[in-house]
Structure 1
Protein backbone atom coordinates (compact mmCIF):
# COMPACT_ATOMS: atom_id res chain seq x y z
CA UNK A 1 0.00 0.00 0.00
CA UNK A 2 1.36 3.47 -0.83
CA UNK A 3 2.52 5.61 2.09
CA UNK A 4 2.24 9.37 2.57
CA UNK A 5 5.76 10.58 3.43
CA UNK A 6 7.03 14.00 4.43
CA UNK A 7 9.38 15.43 1.80
CA UNK A 8 13.04 14.55 2.40
CA UNK A 9 16.31 15.33 0.60
CA UNK A 10 16.61 11.74 -0.68
CA UNK A 11 13.26 12.02 -2.49
CA UNK A 12 14.81 14.36 -5.09
CA UNK A 13 15.64 11.84 -7.88
CA UNK A 14 12.27 10.07 -7.70
CA UNK A 15 10.41 13.38 -7.45
CA UNK A 16 12.14 14.78 -10.52
CA UNK A 17 11.33 11.57 -12.43
CA UNK A 18 7.68 11.84 -11.31
CA UNK A 19 7.43 15.45 -12.52
CA UNK A 20 9.12 14.72 -15.87
CA UNK A 21 7.10 11.57 -16.59
CA UNK A 22 3.80 13.30 -15.86
CA UNK A 23 4.45 16.82 -17.14
CA UNK A 24 2.18 16.60 -20.19
CA UNK A 25 -0.53 14.83 -18.20
CA UNK A 26 -0.43 17.51 -15.47
CA UNK A 27 -0.51 20.36 -18.00
CA UNK A 28 -3.91 19.14 -19.18
CA UNK A 29 -5.48 19.94 -15.80
CA UNK A 30 -3.15 22.12 -13.69
CA UNK A 31 -0.79 25.00 -14.48
CA UNK A 32 2.53 23.83 -15.95
CA UNK A 33 5.59 24.36 -13.76
CA UNK A 34 7.64 25.70 -16.69
CA UNK A 35 11.08 24.76 -17.96
CA UNK A 36 12.89 26.62 -15.16
CA UNK A 37 11.44 24.19 -12.64
CA UNK A 38 13.25 21.30 -14.31
CA UNK A 39 16.43 23.27 -15.03
CA UNK A 40 16.76 24.40 -11.42
CA UNK A 41 15.13 21.42 -9.73
CA UNK A 42 17.90 20.78 -7.17
CA UNK A 43 17.86 24.37 -5.93
CA UNK A 44 14.05 24.43 -5.81
CA UNK A 45 13.99 21.14 -3.91
CA UNK A 46 16.39 22.64 -1.35
CA UNK A 47 14.14 25.72 -1.08
CA UNK A 48 11.08 23.54 -0.44
CA UNK A 49 12.94 21.69 2.30
CA UNK A 50 13.97 25.00 3.89
CA UNK A 51 10.36 26.25 3.79
CA UNK A 52 9.26 23.02 5.42
CA UNK A 53 11.90 23.37 8.14
CA UNK A 54 10.60 26.90 8.83
CA UNK A 55 7.04 25.56 9.15
CA UNK A 56 5.59 27.76 6.41
CA UNK A 57 4.86 24.72 4.21
CA UNK A 58 4.42 20.96 4.65
CA UNK A 59 5.25 18.85 1.61
CA UNK A 60 4.27 15.19 1.25
CA UNK A 61 4.70 12.48 -1.33
CA UNK A 62 2.61 9.38 -1.89
CA UNK A 63 5.23 6.67 -2.32
CA UNK A 64 4.65 3.06 -3.34
CA UNK A 65 6.51 0.19 -1.62
CA UNK A 66 9.20 0.23 -4.35
CA UNK A 67 9.93 3.92 -3.73
CA UNK A 68 8.16 5.29 -6.81
CA UNK A 69 6.29 8.54 -6.28
CA UNK A 70 2.62 8.35 -7.18
CA UNK A 71 1.54 11.81 -6.03
CA UNK A 72 2.35 15.09 -4.30
CA UNK A 73 0.24 16.55 -1.51
CA UNK A 74 1.30 19.95 -0.21
CA UNK A 75 0.16 22.38 2.45
CA UNK A 76 1.54 25.79 1.57
CA UNK A 77 1.35 29.33 2.91
CA UNK A 78 0.71 28.20 6.48
CA UNK A 79 -0.54 31.16 8.47
CA UNK A 80 -3.00 31.80 11.29
CA UNK A 81 -3.99 28.14 11.56
CA UNK A 82 -4.75 27.72 7.86
CA UNK A 83 -2.96 26.54 4.73
CA UNK A 84 -3.59 25.97 1.03
CA UNK A 85 -3.78 22.38 -0.16
CA UNK A 86 -2.41 21.40 -3.55
CA UNK A 87 -2.02 17.93 -5.00
CA UNK A 88 -1.25 16.04 -8.18
CA UNK A 89 -1.27 12.35 -9.01
CA UNK A 90 0.74 10.38 -11.56
CA UNK A 91 -1.43 9.44 -14.52
CA UNK A 92 -0.94 5.73 -13.88
CA UNK A 93 -2.10 6.11 -10.26
CA UNK A 94 -5.45 7.76 -10.98
CA UNK A 95 -8.95 6.31 -10.60
CA UNK A 96 -7.98 4.07 -7.68
CA UNK A 97 -9.04 6.28 -4.76
CA UNK A 98 -5.43 6.99 -3.81
CA UNK A 99 -5.77 10.77 -3.98
CA UNK A 100 -8.88 10.75 -1.79
CA UNK A 101 -7.16 8.54 0.77
CA UNK A 102 -4.02 10.70 0.76
CA UNK A 103 -5.99 13.96 1.17
CA UNK A 104 -7.90 12.45 4.10
CA UNK A 105 -4.61 11.42 5.71
CA UNK A 106 -3.14 14.88 5.09
CA UNK A 107 -6.18 16.54 6.67
CA UNK A 108 -5.59 14.45 9.78
CA UNK A 109 -1.90 15.41 9.81
CA UNK A 110 -2.85 19.06 9.32
CA UNK A 111 -4.89 18.96 12.52
CA UNK A 112 -2.85 16.62 14.70
CA UNK A 113 0.73 17.35 13.65
CA UNK A 114 0.64 20.89 12.26
CA UNK A 115 -2.07 22.45 14.45
CA UNK A 116 -4.13 23.73 11.53
CA UNK A 117 -7.83 24.45 11.79
CA UNK A 118 -8.72 25.23 8.16
CA UNK A 119 -7.55 24.26 4.69
CA UNK A 120 -8.21 26.03 1.41
CA UNK A 121 -7.88 24.64 -2.10
CA UNK A 122 -8.60 25.68 -5.67
CA UNK A 123 -9.49 23.55 -8.66
CA UNK A 124 -10.18 24.39 -12.27
CA UNK A 125 -13.79 23.90 -13.34
CA UNK A 126 -12.64 21.40 -15.98
CA UNK A 127 -10.60 19.41 -13.44
CA UNK A 128 -13.36 17.05 -12.41
CA UNK A 129 -10.99 14.63 -10.69
CA UNK A 130 -9.58 17.22 -8.27
CA UNK A 131 -12.98 18.72 -7.59
CA UNK A 132 -14.30 15.23 -6.80
CA UNK A 133 -11.43 14.53 -4.39
CA UNK A 134 -12.06 17.82 -2.63
CA UNK A 135 -15.78 17.23 -2.15
CA UNK A 136 -15.27 13.59 -1.10
CA UNK A 137 -12.90 14.72 1.62
CA UNK A 138 -15.25 17.36 3.05
CA UNK A 139 -14.14 20.52 1.25
CA UNK A 140 -16.98 22.85 0.28
CA UNK A 141 -16.96 25.40 -2.53
CA UNK A 142 -16.84 28.95 -1.21
CA UNK A 143 -18.42 30.51 -4.29
CA UNK A 144 -15.23 32.45 -4.94
CA UNK A 145 -14.13 32.17 -8.55
CA UNK A 146 -10.39 32.00 -9.25
CA UNK A 147 -8.18 31.75 -12.31
CA UNK A 148 -5.60 28.97 -12.46
CA UNK A 149 -3.32 30.04 -15.29
CA UNK A 150 -5.85 30.49 -18.08
CA UNK A 151 -8.57 28.30 -16.56
CA UNK A 152 -11.54 29.39 -14.48
CA UNK A 153 -11.83 27.61 -11.17
CA UNK A 154 -13.43 27.57 -7.76
CA UNK A 155 -12.06 28.03 -4.28
CA UNK A 156 -12.84 25.42 -1.59
CA UNK A 157 -12.55 25.39 2.19
CA UNK A 158 -12.45 22.73 4.89
CA UNK A 159 -13.03 23.56 8.54
CA UNK A 160 -10.84 20.88 10.13
CA UNK A 161 -12.17 21.53 13.64
CA UNK A 162 -15.72 20.91 12.46
CA UNK A 163 -14.67 17.81 10.49
CA UNK A 164 -13.10 16.10 13.54
Structure 2
Protein backbone atom coordinates (compact mmCIF):
# COMPACT_ATOMS: atom_id res chain seq x y z
CA UNK A 1 0.00 0.00 0.00
CA UNK A 2 1.44 3.44 -0.89
CA UNK A 3 2.38 5.72 1.98
CA UNK A 4 2.18 9.51 2.16
CA UNK A 5 5.52 10.81 3.42
CA UNK A 6 6.70 14.31 4.25
CA UNK A 7 9.28 15.37 1.66
CA UNK A 8 12.88 14.92 2.81
CA UNK A 9 16.34 14.97 1.18
CA UNK A 10 16.39 11.19 0.62
CA UNK A 11 13.55 11.60 -1.91
CA UNK A 12 15.79 13.46 -4.38
CA UNK A 13 16.55 10.64 -6.86
CA UNK A 14 13.06 9.13 -6.79
CA UNK A 15 11.42 12.55 -7.12
CA UNK A 16 13.58 13.49 -10.11
CA UNK A 17 12.73 10.17 -11.76
CA UNK A 18 9.01 10.75 -11.08
CA UNK A 19 9.11 14.21 -12.66
CA UNK A 20 11.15 13.12 -15.69
CA UNK A 21 9.17 9.95 -16.42
CA UNK A 22 5.84 11.77 -16.19
CA UNK A 23 6.80 15.06 -17.82
CA UNK A 24 4.85 14.54 -21.05
CA UNK A 25 1.87 13.10 -19.17
CA UNK A 26 1.72 16.09 -16.83
CA UNK A 27 2.14 18.58 -19.68
CA UNK A 28 -1.11 17.32 -21.20
CA UNK A 29 -3.11 18.67 -18.26
CA UNK A 30 -0.90 21.15 -16.36
CA UNK A 31 1.75 23.60 -17.55
CA UNK A 32 5.13 22.02 -18.34
CA UNK A 33 7.83 22.96 -15.86
CA UNK A 34 10.41 23.54 -18.60
CA UNK A 35 13.99 22.36 -18.95
CA UNK A 36 15.29 24.81 -16.35
CA UNK A 37 13.27 22.99 -13.69
CA UNK A 38 15.48 19.91 -14.10
CA UNK A 39 18.83 21.73 -14.46
CA UNK A 40 19.43 22.21 -10.72
CA UNK A 41 16.93 19.79 -9.25
CA UNK A 42 18.98 19.26 -6.07
CA UNK A 43 19.06 23.00 -5.44
CA UNK A 44 15.33 23.25 -6.10
CA UNK A 45 14.67 20.46 -3.57
CA UNK A 46 16.87 22.19 -1.00
CA UNK A 47 14.86 25.40 -1.43
CA UNK A 48 11.59 23.50 -0.95
CA UNK A 49 12.91 21.85 2.19
CA UNK A 50 13.88 25.28 3.55
CA UNK A 51 10.32 26.54 2.96
CA UNK A 52 9.01 23.44 4.68
CA UNK A 53 11.31 23.90 7.69
CA UNK A 54 10.05 27.49 8.00
CA UNK A 55 6.42 26.27 7.99
CA UNK A 56 5.60 28.15 4.80
CA UNK A 57 4.78 24.96 2.90
CA UNK A 58 4.19 21.29 3.63
CA UNK A 59 5.41 19.00 0.86
CA UNK A 60 4.50 15.32 0.61
CA UNK A 61 5.16 12.41 -1.72
CA UNK A 62 3.14 9.24 -2.16
CA UNK A 63 5.64 6.38 -2.08
CA UNK A 64 5.03 2.73 -2.98
CA UNK A 65 6.60 -0.22 -1.17
CA UNK A 66 9.60 -0.14 -3.56
CA UNK A 67 10.39 3.50 -2.79
CA UNK A 68 9.01 4.74 -6.10
CA UNK A 69 7.15 8.03 -5.97
CA UNK A 70 3.62 7.82 -7.32
CA UNK A 71 2.54 11.39 -6.61
CA UNK A 72 3.21 14.77 -5.07
CA UNK A 73 0.76 16.43 -2.68
CA UNK A 74 1.65 19.90 -1.47
CA UNK A 75 0.23 22.52 0.85
CA UNK A 76 1.70 25.86 -0.14
CA UNK A 77 1.67 29.36 1.29
CA UNK A 78 0.35 28.28 4.68
CA UNK A 79 -0.73 31.34 6.66
CA UNK A 80 -3.64 32.41 8.86
CA UNK A 81 -5.08 28.89 8.97
CA UNK A 82 -5.21 28.32 5.23
CA UNK A 83 -3.03 26.95 2.43
CA UNK A 84 -3.15 26.15 -1.27
CA UNK A 85 -3.34 22.49 -2.30
CA UNK A 86 -1.48 21.22 -5.35
CA UNK A 87 -1.05 17.64 -6.49
CA UNK A 88 0.07 15.47 -9.38
CA UNK A 89 -0.02 11.71 -9.78
CA UNK A 90 2.08 9.48 -12.03
CA UNK A 91 0.41 8.21 -15.18
CA UNK A 92 0.71 4.60 -14.05
CA UNK A 93 -1.01 5.43 -10.73
CA UNK A 94 -3.87 7.43 -12.27
CA UNK A 95 -7.48 6.30 -12.38
CA UNK A 96 -7.10 4.07 -9.31
CA UNK A 97 -8.51 6.41 -6.66
CA UNK A 98 -5.09 7.12 -5.15
CA UNK A 99 -5.29 10.87 -5.71
CA UNK A 100 -8.69 11.18 -4.04
CA UNK A 101 -7.69 8.97 -1.10
CA UNK A 102 -4.43 10.87 -0.64
CA UNK A 103 -6.06 14.30 -0.84
CA UNK A 104 -8.57 13.18 1.80
CA UNK A 105 -5.70 11.97 4.00
CA UNK A 106 -3.83 15.23 3.45
CA UNK A 107 -6.93 17.20 4.49
CA UNK A 108 -6.84 15.32 7.80
CA UNK A 109 -3.12 16.04 8.21
CA UNK A 110 -3.68 19.69 7.34
CA UNK A 111 -6.19 20.03 10.15
CA UNK A 112 -4.57 17.82 12.79
CA UNK A 113 -0.84 18.28 12.21
CA UNK A 114 -0.57 21.72 10.62
CA UNK A 115 -3.47 23.50 12.30
CA UNK A 116 -5.10 24.55 9.04
CA UNK A 117 -8.82 25.27 8.77
CA UNK A 118 -9.20 25.97 5.06
CA UNK A 119 -7.61 24.66 1.88
CA UNK A 120 -7.82 26.36 -1.51
CA UNK A 121 -7.15 24.76 -4.89
CA UNK A 122 -7.58 25.50 -8.58
CA UNK A 123 -7.95 23.31 -11.62
CA UNK A 124 -8.11 24.01 -15.32
CA UNK A 125 -11.56 23.52 -16.80
CA UNK A 126 -10.16 20.90 -19.18
CA UNK A 127 -8.48 18.98 -16.33
CA UNK A 128 -11.42 16.74 -15.54
CA UNK A 129 -9.35 14.37 -13.40
CA UNK A 130 -8.20 17.07 -10.97
CA UNK A 131 -11.64 18.65 -10.78
CA UNK A 132 -13.11 15.22 -9.99
CA UNK A 133 -10.54 14.57 -7.24
CA UNK A 134 -11.24 17.94 -5.66
CA UNK A 135 -15.01 17.40 -5.72
CA UNK A 136 -14.74 13.88 -4.31
CA UNK A 137 -12.49 15.18 -1.55
CA UNK A 138 -15.07 17.71 -0.40
CA UNK A 139 -13.82 20.83 -2.19
CA UNK A 140 -16.51 23.10 -3.57
CA UNK A 141 -16.22 25.57 -6.44
CA UNK A 142 -15.84 29.16 -5.27
CA UNK A 143 -17.21 30.66 -8.49
CA UNK A 144 -13.83 32.32 -8.95
CA UNK A 145 -12.55 32.09 -12.50
CA UNK A 146 -8.78 31.67 -12.60
CA UNK A 147 -6.15 31.44 -15.30
CA UNK A 148 -3.61 28.62 -15.06
CA UNK A 149 -0.78 29.37 -17.49
CA UNK A 150 -3.28 30.98 -19.82
CA UNK A 151 -5.88 28.24 -19.48
CA UNK A 152 -9.27 28.96 -17.92
CA UNK A 153 -9.90 27.32 -14.58
CA UNK A 154 -11.98 27.35 -11.44
CA UNK A 155 -11.13 27.99 -7.82
CA UNK A 156 -12.13 25.53 -5.09
CA UNK A 157 -12.19 25.63 -1.30
CA UNK A 158 -12.47 23.05 1.47
CA UNK A 159 -13.53 23.88 5.01
CA UNK A 160 -11.52 21.39 7.07
CA UNK A 161 -14.05 21.47 9.90
CA UNK A 162 -16.50 19.71 7.57
CA UNK A 163 -16.51 16.14 6.31
CA UNK A 164 -15.75 15.25 2.69
CA UNK A 165 -19.35 15.82 1.62
CA UNK A 166 -19.54 19.19 3.42
CA UNK A 167 -21.46 18.17 6.55
CA UNK A 168 -20.28 19.37 9.94
CA UNK A 169 -18.18 16.88 11.89
TM range (shorter): over 0.9
The residue aligned with 2:85 is 85
Query: Secondary structure at 1:161's aligned position in 2?
Result: coil
2:142 alignment partner in structure 1: 142
Alignment partners' CA distance in 2, 1:63 and 1:162: 28
So what's the TM-score if we normalise by structure 1? 0.99
Q: Which runs of 5+ in 2 are unaligned?
A: 164-168
Distance in 2 separating the partners of 1:41 and 1:52: 16
Q: Which residue of 1 aligns with 2:58?
A: 58
- Greater percentage in helix: 1
Q: Secondary structure at the match of 2:155?
A: strand
1:162 deviates by 2.7
| Residue correspondences, number | 164
Query: Deviation digits for residues 87-121 of structure 1, max 9, x if unmatched?
Result: 00000000100000100000000000000000000
CA deviations 1:26-63 (Å, max 9, x no partner) are 01101111111100111000000000000000000000
CA RMSD of aligned residues (A): 0.6
TM, length-normalised to structure 2:
0.96
2:9 counterpart residue number: 9
Q: Distance in 1 between matches of 2:56 and 2:94?
A: 29
Q: What is the distance in 2 between the residues matched to 1:16 and 1:79?
A: 28
Alignment of structure 1 residues 13-162 onto 2, 5 Å:
13-162=13-162
